[in-house]
């Protein structure tokens, strides 16, 4: 069921979320793991694909809160380029993009946009960790530094607040990202399908707390609020089509 749901949601969004007129996008990566954490991988499985740390690259439109693109993979230059190139193909106009200081984004922006983008980097400055603080508590942010990396971005509008809130939404609504549990994915494909299903529900069904409507409706990607019944029907149609093609 998860495979059918994930494939149907991924295909629908891949085909539908196109020709966007976004103005300001924010990009980030959220950490997770498959099967086991990196430190627990035994020697005989070192280098095995599909286990250990996995990163989900996410883009969000600051205005409509739509998530137009995501990618589950490694936190490296190759995946950064795949992610940014996919995002660039969905846009019809020049946009402003803000990311953190991950170096891989710089080359990815050139690969995806060829210089036709206003790209800003936001570095957050953190203070020292408080002694005795809980393991997963972040250090206090004491300031931030903004710089123009490509084009002429409006640094006053450069922010990563929306994407950081989206990361929280992912962890709260997708059990596979919840820390300190045994709910993590045991296979990479299961994580990919789960992420596709999550973003379909977020984009097309869930009414955003600020917008009072799903992001896809605000972005005019759809003309109505989807129901879970419609989602199930779409998944069933996809599964039936797959069966017919195999025959």
pLDDT value at 169 more than 90? yes
Q: How far is CA 168 from the centre of its chain?
A: 11
Q: Are strands 141-150 and 96-99 parallel, antiparallel or unpaired?
A: unpaired
Average pLDDT score over the chain: 93
- Domains of the chain in start order, with CATH, are 2-246 (3.30.420.10)
- pLDDT tens digits, 36-45: 999 999 999 9
Task: Tell me the whole-structure pTM to 2 decimals.
Answer: 0.91
Query: What is residue 157's DSSP assignment?
Result: G
User: Can you tell me the mean pLDDT for 78-89?
Assistant: 98
Alpha-helical (H) ranges within the chain are 2-16, 77-89, 104-113, 161-173, 188-200, 215-218, 228-246
- pLDDT tens digits, 92-106: 999 999 999 999 999
Q: How much of the chain, in percent, has pLDDT values that exceed 90?
A: 85
- pLDDT tens digits, 188-237: 999 999 999 999 999 999 999 999 999 999 999 999 999 999 999 999 99
Q: Which of 5-14, 47-56, 132-141, 152-161 has the lowest mean pLDDT?
A: 132-141
pLDDT value at 133 more than 70? no
């Amino acid at each position: 069921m998860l495979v059918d749901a994930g494939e149907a949601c991924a295909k629908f969004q891949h085909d539908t979320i196109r020709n966007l007129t976004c103005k300001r996008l924010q990009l980030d990566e959220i950490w997770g793991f498959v099967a086991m954490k990196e430190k627990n991988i035994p020697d005989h499985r070192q280098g095995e694909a599909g286990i250990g740390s996995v990163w989900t690259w996410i883009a969000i439109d600051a205005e409509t809160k739509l998530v137009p693109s995501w990618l589950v993979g490694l936190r490296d230059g190759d995946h950064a380029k795949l992610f940014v190139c996919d995002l660039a193909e969905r846009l019809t106009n020049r946009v402003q993009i803000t990311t953190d200081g991950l170096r891989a984004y710089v080359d990815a922006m050139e690969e995806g946009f060829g210089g036709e983008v206003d790209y800003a980097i936001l570095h957050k400055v953190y203070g020292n960790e408080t002694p005795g603080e809980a393991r997963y508590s972040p250090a206090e942010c004491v300031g931030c530094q903004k710089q123009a990396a490509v084009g002429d971005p409006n640094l006053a509008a450069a922010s990563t607040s929306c994407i950081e809130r989206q990361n929280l939404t992912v962890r709260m609504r997708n059990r596979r990202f919840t820390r300190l549990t045994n709910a993590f994915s045991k296979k990479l494909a299961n994580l990919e399908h789960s992420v596709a299903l999550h973003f379909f529900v977020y984009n097309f069904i869930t009414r955003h707390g600020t917008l009072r409507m799903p992001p896809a409706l605000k972005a005019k990607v759809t003309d109505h609020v989807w129901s879970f019944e419609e989602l199930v029907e779409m998944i069933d149609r996809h599964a039936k089509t797959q069966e017919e093609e195999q025959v």
